[in-house]
Amino acid sequence: MSVLYIIGTPIGNLGDITFRAIETLKNVDYVAAEDTRHTLQLLNHFEIKKPLISCRAQNEKFAGEKIVKLLDEGNSVAYASDAGTPGISDPGAVLVDVVREAGHQIVPIPGPSAFATLISAAGSGGKTLIFEGFLSPKPGKRRSRLRELMATGDAIIIYESPFRITKLLCDVADIEGTRRIVVGRELTKLHEEILSGSAADIYRDFAERPSIKGEFAIFISGTKKTQLSEESADN
pLDDT tens digits for range 53-99: 999 999 999 999 999 999 999 999 999 999 999 999 999 999 999 99
Sign of the four-CA dihedral 40, 43, 44, 50: negative
pTM of this structure: 0.88
Nearest alpha carbon to residue 219 among 110, 143, 126: 126
How far is residue 219's CA from residue 227's CA, in Å, rounded to a whole number?
20
Nearest alpha carbon to residue 115 among 144, 147, 83, 139: 83
Asked if residues 41 and 9 have their Cβ atoms less than 8 Å apart, the reply is: no
pLDDT at position 143 is: 97
Which amino acid would we find at residue 203? Y
How far is residue 68's CA from residue 73's CA, in Å, rounded to a whole number?
9
Within a 10 A sphere around the Cβ of 20, how many other Cβ atoms?
14
Instruction: Look up residue 115 and give its DSSP letter.
Output: H
Q: Please give the average per-residue pLDDT across 123-150, as a whole number.
A: 92
pLDDT at position 228 is: 40
How far is residue 179's CA from residue 203's CA, in Å, rounded to a whole number?
12
How far is residue 54's CA from residue 98's CA, in Å, rounded to a whole number?
15
Asked if residues 84 and 112 have their Cβ atoms less than 8 Å apart, the reply is: yes
CA dihedral (226, 120, 184, 225) in degrees, to 10, reads 0
pLDDT at position 224 is: 77
pLDDT at position 62 is: 94
Tens of pLDDT, residues 18-57: 999 999 999 999 999 999 999 999 999 999 999 999 999 9
Q: Which residue blocks in the chain are alpha helix, DSSP H?
A: 19-27, 36-45, 60-72, 93-101, 114-122, 139-151, 165-175, 199-207, 228-234
pLDDT at position 219 is: 97
Q: Please give the average per-residue pLDDT across 161-185, as a whole number.
A: 97
Asked if residues 89 and 133 have their Cβ atoms less than 8 Å apart, the reply is: yes
Q: Please give the average per-residue pLDDT across 3-29, as a whole number.
A: 97
